[in-house]
A and B are shown apart, each in its own frame.
Chain A
Amino acid sequence: MAGYIGSKVVKALITLWLIFTVAFLAARISGDAMDFIMPEGMNEEAREAMTSYLGLDKSWLEQYWLYVRNVFHGDLGTSFHFRQPVIDLYTQRFIPTLTLCGLAMLLSMAISIPLGVIAALKKNRPAGFLIQSAAFLGYAVPNFVLAILLILVFSFHLGWLPSSGSDTMMHYIMPVTALACTLIASLTRFSRSALLDVLSQDYIRTARAKGVGNFSVLTVHGLRNAMITIVTVLGLQVAALVSGSVVIENVFSWPGIGELLVFAAIKRDYPLLQTGVILVGTIVIFINFIVDVVYVLIDPRIQPGS
Chain B
Amino acid sequence: MNDHFKIYEHSRQRNVLDVRNLSVAFTGRKTKKTVLSDVSFSIRPGETVALVGESGSGKSVTALSLLRLIERSGGVISGATYFTDNDGQTVDILAQDEKELRAIRGNKISMIFQEPMTSLNPVLSVGFQITEAILAHRDVSAEEAKREAIDLLHKVEIPDPERRFGDYPQQFSGGMRQRVMIAMALACKPSLLIADEPTTALDVTTQARILDIIQRLKEEMNMAVLFITHDLGIVSEIADRVMVMYCGSIIEKADTRNLFNAPSHPYTSGLILSMPAVGSARGKGVPLPAIPGTVPAVWQGARGCTFSPRCSYAIERCRHETPLLQRRNPHSFVEVACHRAAEIRSMLGSLLPWVEAGELGITA
Contacts and interface: CB of A to CB of B under 8 A. Distances in A.
B115 interface: yes
Contacts of A2: none
A278 to B, nearest CB: 37
Contacts of B120: 203, 206
Interface in A39-63: none
Given A205-B113, A300-B168, A301-B170, A212 B132 contact: yes
Interface stretch (B101-109, B253-261, B338-346): B101-109
Q: Which of A201, A202, A205, A210 has the most CB of B within 10 A?
A: A210
Interface in A192-242: 200-203, 205-214, 216, 220-221, 224-225, 228
Contacts of B67: 209
B27 interface: no
Given A209-B111, A212-B132, A300 B123 contact: yes
Interface residues of A, number: 24
Contact of B123 (A206, A208, A225): A225
Given A203-B120, A221-B124, A225-B123, A209 B168 contact: no
Interface string B56-81: 00000000100101000100000000
Nearest to B105: A211
B119 interface: yes
Contacts of A106: none
B123 A298 contact: yes
B103 A211 contact: yes
B122 interface: yes
Nearest to A228: B123
Interface string A284-306: 00000000000000111100000
Contacts of B105: 208-211
Contacts, number: 77
Q: How would you classify the secondary structure of chain A's contact residues: helix, strand, loop or mixed? A: helix
A212 to B, nearest CB: 5
Contact of B106 (A202, A211, A216, A221): A211
Contact of A206 (B103, B107, B113): B113
B115 A224 contact: no
B86 interface: no
B121 A299 contact: no
A298 to B, nearest CB: 7
Interface in B331-353: none
A211 B119 contact: no
A206 B170 contact: no
Contacts of A201: 118
Residue from B115, B132, B168, B184 having most chain A Cβ neighbours under 10 A: B132
Contact of B69 (A208, A212, A216, A228): A208
B271 to A, nearest CB: 28
Contact of B118 (A203, A220, A299): A203
A201 B121 CA distance: 9
B124 A220 contact: yes
B268 interface: no
B191 interface: no
Contacts of A211: 102-107, 133, 136-137
A206 B126 CA distance: 13
Contacts of A301: 122-123, 168, 170
Interface in B131-162: 132-133, 136-137
A211 to B, nearest CB: 4
A205 B64 CA distance: 10
A216 B106 CA distance: 15
Contacts of A206: 113, 119-121, 181, 184
A210 B168 contact: no
Contacts of A300: 122-123, 125, 168
Nearest to B107: A211
A53 B298 CA distance: 86
**Looking at B64, B121, B136, B184, which has the most chain A CB atoms within 10 Å of its CB?**
B121
Nearest to B136: A211
Contacts of B102: 211-213
A299 B181 CA distance: 21
Contacts of A210: 105-106, 110, 132-133, 136, 184
B118 A225 contact: no
Counting chain B CB atoms within 10 Å of each CB, which of A299, A300, A301 scores highest? A300
A224 B124 CA distance: 9
10 contacts: A203-B122, A205-B113, A206-B120, A207-B121, A208-B69, A209-B105, A209-B110, A210-B184, A298-B123, A301-B122
Interface of B: 64, 67, 69, 73, 98, 102-107, 110-111, 113, 115, 118-125, 132-133, 136-137, 168, 170, 181, 184
Interface of A: 200-203, 205-214, 216, 220-221, 224-225, 228, 298-301
Given A209-B69, A301-B168, 10 more contacts: A205-B69, A205-B119, A209-B67, A211-B104, A212-B102, A214-B98, A221-B124, A225-B123, A301-B123, A301-B170
